[in-house]
Amino acid sequence: MNRTTLLQRDRITVNEFRCTAEPGDKPFVEQFACHSVSYVRSGSFGCHCRGRFHELVAGAILVGHPGDEYTCTHDHVVGDECLSFFLDPELVEDVIMGCVMQAGAQA
């Protein structure tokens, strides 16, 4: 897995991931360290998380919650590329509160 940091600020980090895993590679458990949103730019992979399985293809979004464990598989294709946004807890709280305030103003 190649990781390139594209942006790093106090409240957000943006990384590009290029995975070269292929069918037959042994999957392993990983854990989300913080809130994250990842956009699958190319390729595909399977993701086991919270007791469910999702097949993520180009254009899919993966939302990560701190502490959640997940396992990625590559049963069908070789590798994938993702653009991932790692969010500070205060930023997530600000976004949620902004959405709640805006929804309340519209009610």
What pLDDT, in 10s, does the model give residues 7-36?
999 999 999 999 999 888 999 999 999 999
pLDDT score of 106 more than 70: no
How many residues in the chain?
107
pLDDT tens-place string over residues 57-81:
999 999 999 999 999 998 878 889 9
End-to-end CA distance of the chain: 46
73 contact partners, CB below 8 Å, separation of at least 6: 27, 45, 46, 47, 48
